[in-house]
Amino acid sequence: MSEQPAIVKRQLPATPMARQIIERGTLREQAARMPFAAKVIGAIFGIGFLIANAGIAYIVVDGRLDGMWYDFRDLGYAIERLRVELRTVDGTIGGQELGAILAYWVPALIGGIGILSFLGGFLLIGSWIERRLLARFQIRTGPNRVGPYGLLQPLADALKLMQKEVLIPAGADRMLFYLPPVLIFIPAMLAWGPIPWAENMAYLDLNVGLLYVVSITSLSVLAVWLAGWSSNNHYALLGSMRTVAMMVSYEIPISLALLSVVLVTGSLRLSAIVAWQADHYLWLALLLPFALFTFFFSSTAEINRTPNDIAEAESEIVAGFHTEYSGMKAGLFLAVELGNALLTGALVATFFLGGYTLFGLEEWIPGYLILGAKATFGYFIFIWLRATLPRFRIDQLMNFAWKYLIPLSIANVLLVAIEASIAARWDAPAIIVYGLFVIVNIALTAYAVRAWARAIGYAMDVEQPAQPIFAKTIGGLKAARSLRGEA
Protein backbone atom coordinates (compact mmCIF):
# COMPACT_ATOMS: atom_id res chain seq x y z
CA MET A 1 0.00 0.00 0.00
CA SER A 2 2.91 2.28 0.51
CA GLU A 3 3.43 2.53 -3.28
CA GLN A 4 0.16 4.40 -3.72
CA PRO A 5 0.30 7.38 -1.40
CA ALA A 6 -1.69 9.62 -3.80
CA ILE A 7 -4.70 7.35 -3.77
CA VAL A 8 -4.70 7.05 -0.03
CA LYS A 9 -4.31 10.77 0.35
CA ARG A 10 -6.95 12.01 -2.08
CA GLN A 11 -9.47 9.22 -1.48
CA LEU A 12 -10.38 8.81 -5.15
CA PRO A 13 -14.09 8.20 -5.69
CA ALA A 14 -15.32 4.86 -6.81
CA THR A 15 -17.00 5.60 -10.12
CA PRO A 16 -14.90 6.29 -13.22
CA MET A 17 -16.95 9.36 -14.09
CA ALA A 18 -16.45 10.98 -10.71
CA ARG A 19 -12.76 10.22 -10.95
CA GLN A 20 -12.69 11.87 -14.36
CA ILE A 21 -14.30 14.96 -12.90
CA ILE A 22 -11.80 15.12 -10.06
CA GLU A 23 -8.92 14.72 -12.46
CA ARG A 24 -10.24 17.51 -14.66
CA GLY A 25 -8.80 19.90 -12.11
CA THR A 26 -9.90 23.34 -11.07
CA LEU A 27 -10.41 26.23 -13.44
CA ARG A 28 -7.04 27.65 -12.53
CA GLU A 29 -5.27 24.38 -13.29
CA GLN A 30 -7.05 24.14 -16.61
CA ALA A 31 -6.01 27.70 -17.43
CA ALA A 32 -2.39 26.90 -16.56
CA ARG A 33 -2.49 23.88 -18.85
CA MET A 34 -3.55 26.00 -21.83
CA PRO A 35 -1.02 26.35 -24.67
CA PHE A 36 0.86 29.63 -24.92
CA ALA A 37 -0.66 30.63 -28.28
CA ALA A 38 -4.13 30.26 -26.85
CA LYS A 39 -3.16 32.54 -23.97
CA VAL A 40 -1.89 35.20 -26.37
CA ILE A 41 -5.01 35.05 -28.49
CA GLY A 42 -7.17 35.16 -25.38
CA ALA A 43 -5.29 38.19 -24.08
CA ILE A 44 -5.70 40.00 -27.39
CA PHE A 45 -9.41 39.31 -27.40
CA GLY A 46 -9.77 40.33 -23.78
CA ILE A 47 -7.95 43.61 -24.26
CA GLY A 48 -9.91 44.27 -27.44
CA PHE A 49 -13.13 43.67 -25.55
CA LEU A 50 -12.10 46.13 -22.86
CA ILE A 51 -11.14 48.77 -25.45
CA ALA A 52 -14.42 48.32 -27.27
CA ASN A 53 -16.29 48.71 -24.00
CA ALA A 54 -14.34 51.84 -23.16
CA GLY A 55 -15.19 53.25 -26.56
CA ILE A 56 -18.87 52.49 -26.13
CA ALA A 57 -18.80 54.00 -22.66
CA TYR A 58 -17.16 57.16 -24.04
CA ILE A 59 -19.80 57.52 -26.74
CA VAL A 60 -22.54 56.82 -24.25
CA VAL A 61 -21.36 59.31 -21.68
CA ASP A 62 -20.67 61.90 -24.32
CA GLY A 63 -24.04 61.39 -25.91
CA ARG A 64 -25.82 61.60 -22.61
CA LEU A 65 -24.31 64.93 -21.73
CA ASP A 66 -25.49 66.89 -24.77
CA GLY A 67 -29.03 65.77 -24.18
CA MET A 68 -30.05 65.02 -27.75
CA TRP A 69 -28.38 61.69 -28.34
CA TYR A 70 -30.35 58.68 -27.26
CA ASP A 71 -28.10 55.81 -26.45
CA PHE A 72 -28.93 52.19 -25.91
CA ARG A 73 -29.81 52.70 -22.27
CA ASP A 74 -32.65 55.05 -23.07
CA LEU A 75 -34.71 52.97 -25.44
CA GLY A 76 -37.89 54.15 -23.77
CA TYR A 77 -37.03 57.82 -24.24
CA ALA A 78 -35.82 57.17 -27.78
CA ILE A 79 -39.21 55.67 -28.63
CA GLU A 80 -40.90 58.61 -26.95
CA ARG A 81 -38.84 60.96 -29.10
CA LEU A 82 -39.73 58.92 -32.19
CA ARG A 83 -43.40 59.23 -31.29
CA VAL A 84 -43.12 63.00 -31.03
CA GLU A 85 -41.39 63.10 -34.41
CA LEU A 86 -44.02 60.85 -35.99
CA ARG A 87 -46.87 62.96 -34.68
CA THR A 88 -45.71 65.88 -36.81
CA VAL A 89 -46.18 63.89 -40.05
CA ASP A 90 -48.72 65.61 -42.27
CA GLY A 91 -51.51 64.02 -44.23
CA THR A 92 -54.77 62.20 -43.61
CA ILE A 93 -55.96 58.68 -44.24
CA GLY A 94 -59.69 58.03 -44.18
CA GLY A 95 -60.44 61.16 -42.16
CA GLN A 96 -57.78 60.30 -39.58
CA GLU A 97 -54.53 62.14 -39.10
CA LEU A 98 -51.67 60.09 -40.45
CA GLY A 99 -49.34 61.36 -37.74
CA ALA A 100 -51.54 60.11 -34.90
CA ILE A 101 -51.90 56.69 -36.49
CA LEU A 102 -48.16 56.37 -37.06
CA ALA A 103 -47.40 57.57 -33.55
CA TYR A 104 -49.62 54.82 -32.21
CA TRP A 105 -48.71 51.91 -34.45
CA VAL A 106 -44.96 52.28 -34.96
CA PRO A 107 -43.99 52.24 -31.24
CA ALA A 108 -46.55 49.49 -30.63
CA LEU A 109 -44.99 47.33 -33.33
CA ILE A 110 -41.45 48.07 -32.19
CA GLY A 111 -42.26 47.21 -28.58
CA GLY A 112 -44.17 44.07 -29.47
CA ILE A 113 -41.46 42.80 -31.77
CA GLY A 114 -38.84 43.66 -29.16
CA ILE A 115 -40.55 41.71 -26.38
CA LEU A 116 -41.36 38.77 -28.65
CA SER A 117 -37.83 38.53 -29.98
CA PHE A 118 -36.42 38.69 -26.47
CA LEU A 119 -38.75 35.87 -25.47
CA GLY A 120 -37.93 33.87 -28.58
CA GLY A 121 -34.24 34.21 -27.88
CA PHE A 122 -34.76 33.08 -24.33
CA LEU A 123 -36.84 30.10 -25.42
CA LEU A 124 -33.99 29.08 -27.70
CA ILE A 125 -31.29 29.35 -25.06
CA GLY A 126 -33.37 28.62 -21.94
CA SER A 127 -33.69 24.88 -22.28
CA TRP A 128 -29.95 24.62 -22.94
CA ILE A 129 -29.22 26.60 -19.76
CA GLU A 130 -31.59 24.45 -17.77
CA ARG A 131 -30.25 21.14 -19.02
CA ARG A 132 -26.62 22.15 -18.62
CA LEU A 133 -27.20 23.47 -15.12
CA LEU A 134 -29.16 20.40 -14.08
CA ALA A 135 -26.33 18.26 -15.41
CA ARG A 136 -23.83 20.32 -13.43
CA PHE A 137 -25.91 19.85 -10.29
CA GLN A 138 -26.08 16.11 -10.83
CA ILE A 139 -22.40 15.67 -11.85
CA ARG A 140 -23.21 14.94 -15.47
CA THR A 141 -22.13 16.71 -18.63
CA GLY A 142 -25.43 17.55 -20.27
CA PRO A 143 -25.99 18.24 -23.96
CA ASN A 144 -22.58 18.89 -25.56
CA ARG A 145 -22.72 17.40 -29.04
CA VAL A 146 -24.70 19.78 -31.26
CA GLY A 147 -22.65 22.88 -31.90
CA PRO A 148 -20.09 24.38 -29.51
CA TYR A 149 -20.92 23.32 -25.94
CA GLY A 150 -24.16 21.88 -27.26
CA LEU A 151 -25.52 25.36 -27.80
CA LEU A 152 -27.50 24.35 -30.86
CA GLN A 153 -29.27 21.54 -29.02
CA PRO A 154 -32.53 23.49 -28.48
CA LEU A 155 -32.60 24.32 -32.18
CA ALA A 156 -32.22 20.66 -33.04
CA ASP A 157 -34.95 19.79 -30.55
CA ALA A 158 -37.29 22.37 -32.05
CA LEU A 159 -36.65 21.07 -35.58
CA LYS A 160 -37.28 17.54 -34.40
CA LEU A 161 -40.53 18.56 -32.72
CA MET A 162 -41.71 20.36 -35.85
CA GLN A 163 -41.08 17.32 -38.02
CA LYS A 164 -42.98 14.96 -35.75
CA GLU A 165 -46.51 13.97 -36.53
CA VAL A 166 -49.25 15.46 -34.40
CA LEU A 167 -51.38 12.55 -33.33
CA ILE A 168 -54.99 12.92 -32.37
CA PRO A 169 -56.30 10.22 -30.07
CA ALA A 170 -59.36 8.28 -31.12
CA GLY A 171 -62.46 9.75 -29.54
CA ALA A 172 -60.80 13.07 -28.82
CA ASP A 173 -62.77 16.26 -29.21
CA ARG A 174 -60.98 17.49 -32.33
CA MET A 175 -61.89 21.15 -32.10
CA LEU A 176 -61.00 21.49 -28.44
CA PHE A 177 -57.88 19.38 -28.90
CA TYR A 178 -56.38 21.96 -31.24
CA LEU A 179 -57.24 24.90 -29.01
CA PRO A 180 -55.22 24.50 -25.73
CA PRO A 181 -51.62 24.88 -27.02
CA VAL A 182 -52.61 28.19 -28.58
CA LEU A 183 -54.79 29.19 -25.66
CA ILE A 184 -52.03 28.59 -23.14
CA PHE A 185 -49.52 30.54 -25.20
CA ILE A 186 -51.55 33.76 -25.25
CA PRO A 187 -51.50 34.59 -21.50
CA ALA A 188 -47.81 33.67 -21.33
CA MET A 189 -47.11 36.35 -23.95
CA LEU A 190 -49.62 38.95 -22.77
CA ALA A 191 -48.44 38.92 -19.17
CA TRP A 192 -45.14 40.48 -20.26
CA GLY A 193 -46.98 43.64 -21.24
CA PRO A 194 -47.00 45.77 -18.09
CA ILE A 195 -43.51 44.85 -16.86
CA PRO A 196 -41.29 47.96 -16.86
CA TRP A 197 -37.98 47.25 -18.59
CA ALA A 198 -36.41 50.58 -17.79
CA GLU A 199 -37.51 54.04 -16.92
CA ASN A 200 -40.34 54.98 -19.31
CA MET A 201 -40.00 51.63 -21.04
CA ALA A 202 -43.07 49.57 -20.19
CA TYR A 203 -45.02 48.25 -23.14
CA LEU A 204 -48.42 48.65 -21.46
CA ASP A 205 -48.00 50.89 -18.45
CA LEU A 206 -51.48 50.12 -17.15
CA ASN A 207 -52.78 51.72 -13.99
CA VAL A 208 -54.21 48.28 -13.16
CA GLY A 209 -51.05 46.45 -14.18
CA LEU A 210 -50.82 44.17 -11.15
CA LEU A 211 -54.44 43.05 -11.48
CA TYR A 212 -53.86 42.60 -15.18
CA VAL A 213 -50.98 40.21 -14.56
CA VAL A 214 -52.98 38.20 -12.04
CA SER A 215 -56.07 37.98 -14.23
CA ILE A 216 -54.23 37.19 -17.46
CA THR A 217 -52.24 34.39 -15.89
CA SER A 218 -55.40 32.90 -14.40
CA LEU A 219 -56.70 32.35 -17.93
CA SER A 220 -54.31 29.46 -18.49
CA VAL A 221 -56.33 27.31 -16.07
CA LEU A 222 -59.03 26.81 -18.67
CA ALA A 223 -56.50 25.84 -21.32
CA VAL A 224 -55.00 23.23 -19.02
CA TRP A 225 -58.39 21.74 -18.28
CA LEU A 226 -59.40 21.71 -21.93
CA ALA A 227 -56.17 19.94 -22.85
CA GLY A 228 -56.91 17.20 -20.34
CA TRP A 229 -60.60 16.90 -21.14
CA SER A 230 -60.36 16.85 -24.90
CA SER A 231 -57.62 14.20 -24.95
CA ASN A 232 -60.05 11.42 -24.00
CA ASN A 233 -57.42 9.92 -21.74
CA HIS A 234 -57.65 9.05 -18.06
CA TYR A 235 -54.16 10.20 -17.21
CA ALA A 236 -54.60 13.47 -19.04
CA LEU A 237 -57.92 14.18 -17.32
CA LEU A 238 -56.56 13.26 -13.90
CA GLY A 239 -53.52 15.42 -14.45
CA SER A 240 -55.53 18.36 -15.66
CA MET A 241 -57.98 18.16 -12.75
CA ARG A 242 -55.08 18.09 -10.31
CA THR A 243 -53.47 21.02 -12.03
CA VAL A 244 -56.68 23.02 -12.06
CA ALA A 245 -57.29 22.36 -8.37
CA MET A 246 -53.71 23.32 -7.59
CA MET A 247 -53.73 26.48 -9.69
CA VAL A 248 -57.03 27.64 -8.21
CA SER A 249 -55.76 27.02 -4.69
CA TYR A 250 -52.47 28.79 -5.17
CA GLU A 251 -54.01 31.82 -6.82
CA ILE A 252 -55.28 32.88 -3.39
CA PRO A 253 -51.88 33.14 -1.66
CA ILE A 254 -50.49 34.88 -4.75
CA SER A 255 -53.26 37.46 -4.66
CA LEU A 256 -52.81 38.01 -0.92
CA ALA A 257 -49.04 38.42 -1.30
CA LEU A 258 -49.51 40.95 -4.08
CA LEU A 259 -52.17 42.70 -2.00
CA SER A 260 -49.57 43.43 0.66
CA VAL A 261 -47.29 44.85 -2.05
CA VAL A 262 -50.10 47.15 -3.13
CA LEU A 263 -50.78 48.16 0.47
CA VAL A 264 -47.20 49.29 0.94
CA THR A 265 -46.63 51.00 -2.38
CA GLY A 266 -50.15 52.36 -2.82
CA SER A 267 -50.33 51.67 -6.52
CA LEU A 268 -51.30 48.92 -8.92
CA ARG A 269 -49.02 50.32 -11.61
CA LEU A 270 -45.91 48.20 -11.92
CA SER A 271 -43.64 51.12 -12.80
CA ALA A 272 -44.93 52.93 -9.68
CA ILE A 273 -44.11 49.88 -7.55
CA VAL A 274 -40.56 49.87 -8.92
CA ALA A 275 -40.32 53.63 -8.46
CA TRP A 276 -41.41 53.30 -4.81
CA GLN A 277 -38.61 50.83 -4.16
CA ALA A 278 -36.10 53.08 -5.93
CA ASP A 279 -37.26 56.14 -4.00
CA HIS A 280 -37.01 54.46 -0.61
CA TYR A 281 -33.78 52.58 -1.38
CA LEU A 282 -35.58 49.54 -0.05
CA TRP A 283 -36.42 46.29 -1.76
CA LEU A 284 -39.81 44.95 -0.81
CA ALA A 285 -38.15 41.57 -0.29
CA LEU A 286 -36.82 42.95 2.98
CA LEU A 287 -40.04 44.63 4.01
CA LEU A 288 -42.31 41.74 3.02
CA PRO A 289 -40.28 38.54 3.36
CA PHE A 290 -43.31 36.34 3.83
CA ALA A 291 -45.05 37.78 0.77
CA LEU A 292 -41.91 37.06 -1.25
CA PHE A 293 -41.81 33.47 -0.05
CA THR A 294 -45.53 33.00 -0.69
CA PHE A 295 -45.37 34.52 -4.15
CA PHE A 296 -42.33 32.52 -5.18
CA PHE A 297 -43.57 29.21 -3.83
CA SER A 298 -47.09 29.63 -5.16
CA SER A 299 -45.70 30.62 -8.53
CA THR A 300 -43.88 27.31 -8.73
CA ALA A 301 -47.30 25.70 -8.39
CA GLU A 302 -48.83 27.99 -11.01
CA ILE A 303 -46.17 27.27 -13.59
CA ASN A 304 -45.55 23.60 -12.73
CA ARG A 305 -41.98 23.87 -11.58
CA THR A 306 -40.39 21.38 -9.32
CA PRO A 307 -41.42 21.32 -5.80
CA ASN A 308 -44.93 21.48 -7.23
CA ASP A 309 -44.78 19.91 -10.67
CA ILE A 310 -47.74 17.68 -9.93
CA ALA A 311 -48.99 18.22 -13.47
CA GLU A 312 -46.32 15.97 -14.90
CA ALA A 313 -45.59 13.50 -12.19
CA GLU A 314 -44.26 10.90 -14.60
CA SER A 315 -44.42 8.07 -12.11
CA GLU A 316 -48.11 8.68 -11.39
CA ILE A 317 -49.87 10.14 -14.39
CA VAL A 318 -47.40 9.86 -17.31
CA ALA A 319 -47.16 13.51 -18.35
CA GLY A 320 -50.26 15.08 -16.91
CA PHE A 321 -52.54 17.18 -19.03
CA HIS A 322 -50.34 17.09 -22.13
CA THR A 323 -49.93 13.33 -22.25
CA GLU A 324 -51.63 12.99 -25.62
CA TYR A 325 -49.94 15.92 -27.31
CA SER A 326 -47.08 15.23 -29.68
CA GLY A 327 -44.89 17.17 -32.05
CA MET A 328 -44.89 20.93 -31.90
CA LYS A 329 -48.07 21.02 -29.82
CA ALA A 330 -46.23 19.37 -26.94
CA GLY A 331 -43.36 21.71 -27.79
CA LEU A 332 -45.63 24.69 -27.26
CA PHE A 333 -46.55 23.43 -23.79
CA LEU A 334 -42.87 23.02 -22.95
CA ALA A 335 -42.06 26.45 -24.35
CA VAL A 336 -44.80 28.02 -22.24
CA GLU A 337 -43.38 26.34 -19.16
CA LEU A 338 -39.97 27.77 -19.93
CA GLY A 339 -41.26 31.23 -20.72
CA ASN A 340 -43.42 31.29 -17.60
CA ALA A 341 -40.41 30.51 -15.45
CA LEU A 342 -38.65 33.60 -16.76
CA LEU A 343 -41.86 35.61 -16.49
CA THR A 344 -42.16 34.68 -12.82
CA GLY A 345 -38.54 35.64 -12.34
CA ALA A 346 -39.26 39.02 -13.90
CA LEU A 347 -42.38 39.48 -11.77
CA VAL A 348 -40.52 38.59 -8.57
CA ALA A 349 -37.81 41.05 -9.57
CA THR A 350 -40.36 43.77 -10.28
CA PHE A 351 -42.44 43.31 -7.16
CA PHE A 352 -39.81 42.43 -4.60
CA LEU A 353 -36.28 42.99 -5.91
CA GLY A 354 -36.44 46.54 -7.17
CA GLY A 355 -37.23 45.81 -10.81
CA TYR A 356 -34.96 47.61 -13.25
CA THR A 357 -33.27 49.69 -10.52
CA LEU A 358 -30.11 48.80 -8.67
CA PHE A 359 -29.45 51.59 -6.15
CA GLY A 360 -28.52 54.19 -8.73
CA LEU A 361 -26.61 51.88 -11.02
CA GLU A 362 -29.47 52.10 -13.53
CA GLU A 363 -28.04 55.46 -14.52
CA TRP A 364 -25.09 53.66 -16.05
CA ILE A 365 -26.33 50.22 -17.00
CA PRO A 366 -29.45 49.87 -19.14
CA GLY A 367 -32.42 49.02 -16.93
CA TYR A 368 -33.52 46.14 -19.12
CA LEU A 369 -30.19 44.43 -18.56
CA ILE A 370 -30.63 44.76 -14.79
CA LEU A 371 -34.16 43.39 -14.99
CA GLY A 372 -32.96 40.61 -17.27
CA ALA A 373 -30.22 39.71 -14.81
CA LYS A 374 -32.68 39.60 -11.92
CA ALA A 375 -35.19 37.57 -13.92
CA THR A 376 -32.49 35.10 -14.94
CA PHE A 377 -31.48 34.87 -11.31
CA GLY A 378 -35.07 33.86 -10.49
CA TYR A 379 -34.88 31.30 -13.30
CA PHE A 380 -31.64 29.97 -11.85
CA ILE A 381 -33.35 29.52 -8.48
CA PHE A 382 -36.10 27.54 -10.19
CA ILE A 383 -33.49 25.26 -11.76
CA TRP A 384 -31.74 24.94 -8.42
CA LEU A 385 -34.99 23.91 -6.77
CA ARG A 386 -35.63 21.42 -9.55
CA ALA A 387 -32.26 19.82 -9.02
CA THR A 388 -32.61 19.77 -5.25
CA LEU A 389 -36.13 19.16 -4.05
CA PRO A 390 -38.36 16.12 -4.43
CA ARG A 391 -41.92 16.48 -5.58
CA PHE A 392 -44.81 17.09 -3.20
CA ARG A 393 -47.74 14.72 -3.11
CA ILE A 394 -51.00 16.28 -4.25
CA ASP A 395 -52.60 16.13 -0.77
CA GLN A 396 -49.50 17.64 0.84
CA LEU A 397 -49.61 20.39 -1.72
CA MET A 398 -53.25 21.26 -1.14
CA ASN A 399 -52.84 21.07 2.63
CA PHE A 400 -49.87 23.37 2.43
CA ALA A 401 -51.85 25.94 0.48
CA TRP A 402 -55.04 25.90 2.52
CA LYS A 403 -53.78 25.25 6.02
CA TYR A 404 -50.42 26.97 5.96
CA LEU A 405 -50.00 29.62 3.29
CA ILE A 406 -53.48 31.11 3.27
CA PRO A 407 -53.91 31.71 7.05
CA LEU A 408 -50.42 33.13 7.32
CA SER A 409 -50.98 35.27 4.23
CA ILE A 410 -54.15 36.72 5.72
CA ALA A 411 -52.30 37.52 8.94
CA ASN A 412 -49.53 39.05 6.86
CA VAL A 413 -51.98 41.27 4.99
CA LEU A 414 -53.45 42.45 8.30
CA LEU A 415 -49.98 43.25 9.64
CA VAL A 416 -48.99 45.11 6.50
CA ALA A 417 -52.26 47.05 6.51
CA ILE A 418 -51.57 48.19 10.07
CA GLU A 419 -48.04 49.17 9.10
CA ALA A 420 -49.20 51.01 6.02
CA SER A 421 -51.65 53.08 8.05
CA ILE A 422 -48.92 53.80 10.61
CA ALA A 423 -46.55 54.89 7.85
CA ALA A 424 -49.21 57.19 6.44
CA ARG A 425 -49.74 58.93 9.80
CA TRP A 426 -46.29 58.96 11.36
CA ASP A 427 -44.07 61.88 10.49
CA ALA A 428 -40.73 60.26 11.29
CA PRO A 429 -38.08 59.92 8.57
CA ALA A 430 -38.70 57.06 6.19
CA ILE A 431 -35.54 55.23 7.21
CA ILE A 432 -36.77 54.99 10.82
CA VAL A 433 -40.31 53.97 9.91
CA TYR A 434 -39.42 51.39 7.31
CA GLY A 435 -36.32 50.23 9.18
CA LEU A 436 -38.54 49.45 12.14
CA PHE A 437 -41.01 47.67 9.90
CA VAL A 438 -38.25 45.62 8.28
CA ILE A 439 -37.03 44.43 11.68
CA VAL A 440 -40.55 43.72 12.94
CA ASN A 441 -41.58 41.90 9.78
CA ILE A 442 -38.51 39.71 9.53
CA ALA A 443 -38.72 38.77 13.21
CA LEU A 444 -42.46 38.08 13.07
CA THR A 445 -42.09 36.06 9.88
CA ALA A 446 -39.30 33.96 11.33
CA TYR A 447 -41.41 33.33 14.42
CA ALA A 448 -44.76 32.78 12.73
CA VAL A 449 -43.44 30.42 10.06
CA ARG A 450 -42.07 28.08 12.71
CA ALA A 451 -44.88 28.49 15.22
CA TRP A 452 -47.68 27.89 12.73
CA ALA A 453 -45.88 24.91 11.24
CA ARG A 454 -45.56 23.43 14.69
CA ALA A 455 -49.18 24.24 15.54
CA ILE A 456 -50.54 22.27 12.58
CA GLY A 457 -48.04 19.49 12.99
CA TYR A 458 -45.46 20.12 10.28
CA ALA A 459 -42.36 20.94 12.28
CA MET A 460 -39.75 18.34 12.85
CA ASP A 461 -38.28 18.05 16.31
CA VAL A 462 -34.87 19.41 15.46
CA GLU A 463 -33.66 20.34 18.92
CA GLN A 464 -33.95 16.86 20.41
CA PRO A 465 -33.01 14.29 17.79
CA ALA A 466 -34.67 11.02 18.62
CA GLN A 467 -32.49 8.04 19.33
CA PRO A 468 -32.43 5.74 16.34
CA ILE A 469 -34.94 2.95 16.73
CA PHE A 470 -32.42 0.22 15.98
CA ALA A 471 -29.98 1.49 18.56
CA LYS A 472 -32.82 1.87 21.04
CA THR A 473 -33.97 -1.71 20.47
CA ILE A 474 -30.67 -3.42 20.94
CA GLY A 475 -29.57 -0.95 23.56
CA GLY A 476 -26.52 -0.07 21.51
CA LEU A 477 -25.68 3.32 22.94
CA LYS A 478 -26.38 2.29 26.50
CA ALA A 479 -24.29 -0.84 26.07
CA ALA A 480 -21.47 1.19 24.57
CA ARG A 481 -21.56 3.68 27.42
CA SER A 482 -21.52 0.95 30.03
CA LEU A 483 -18.61 -0.69 28.23
CA ARG A 484 -16.76 2.61 28.33
CA GLY A 485 -17.72 2.89 31.99
CA GLU A 486 -19.57 6.18 31.60
CA ALA A 487 -22.88 5.29 33.17
Partner 1 sequence: MDSLGIVVAFYVLSAVTIGAALSVFLLRNLVHAIVLLVLSFLGMAGLFASLSADFIAIAQILIYAGAISVLLVFAVMLTPLSSRNNANSLYVGPGILAGVAIAAIVVFTAIEVDWVQLTGDALRDRSFVDTIETIGDQLLGKHILAFEVASVLLLFALLGAIVLVTDPRGVGTDVTDDADDAPGATEEPA
Judged by the rule CB under 8 A, the positions of this chain that interact with partner 1 are 94-96, 100, 173, 175-176, 179, 206-208, 211-212, 214-216, 218-219, 221-222, 225-226, 229-230, 241, 244, 248, 268
Phi then psi for 291, rounded to 5 degrees? -65, -40
Q: Which is nearer to partner 1, 244 or 453 (CB)?
A: 244
**CB burial readout 54-84, b (16+ within 10 A) else e:** eeeeeebeebeeeeeebbebbbbebbeebee
Smallest distance from partner 1 to CB 218, Å = 4
- Quick one: 269 or 329, whose CB is closer to partner 1? 269
Q: What is the dihedral of CA 99, 104, 105, 109, to 10 degrees?
A: 140
| Closest distance to partner 1 from the beta carbon of 244 (Å) | 6
- What is the nearest approach in angstroms of partner 1 to the Cβ of residue 102? 13
Closest CA to 356 of 285, 270, 262: 270
For the chain, the residue count is: 487
Residue placing its CB nearer to partner 1 in the complex, 153 or 231: 231
> In angstroms, what CA-CA distances link 377 with 104, 409, 476?
34, 25, 48
Sequence-ordered strand ranges (E) for 239-361 = none
Between 215 and 388, whose beta carbon lies closer to partner 1? Answer: 215
Rg of the chain over Cα atoms, rounded to whole angstroms, equals 27
302 neighbors 251 (Cβ within 8 angstroms)? yes
Residue 477: which residues within 8 A CB-CB, separation 6 or more? 467, 471
Contact (Cβ atoms closer than 8 angstroms) between residue 166 and residue 231: no
By C-beta, is 264 or 383 nearer to partner 1? 264
Beta bridge partners of 93: 96
Of the two residues 207 and 396, which places its CB atom closer to partner 1 in the complex?
A: 207
Q: Compute the least distance from the CB of residue 461 to partner 1, in Å.
A: 22
The residue (of 53 and 215) whose beta carbon lies closer to partner 1 is 215
Residue 468 per-residue DSSP state: P
Residue 215 C-beta: closest distance to partner 1, Å: 4
d(CA 105, CA 96): 13
CA distance 143 to 158: 14
What is the closest distance, in whole angstroms, from the C-beta atom of residue 6 to partner 1 in the complex? 60
Nearer to partner 1, 155 or 190 (CB): 190
- Tell me whether residue 282 or residue 408 sits nearer to partner 1 (CB atom): 408
Name the minimum Å distance from CB 57 to partner 1.
Answer: 41
Q: Which is nearer to partner 1, 122 or 351 (CB)?
A: 351
Nearer to partner 1, 60 or 219 (CB): 219
Tell me the closest approach of the beta carbon of residue 143 to partner 1, in angstroms. Answer: 38
d(CA 278, CA 272): 10
Residue closer to partner 1, measured from CB, 37 or 175: 175
Residue 251 CB, nearest approach to partner 1 (Å): 8
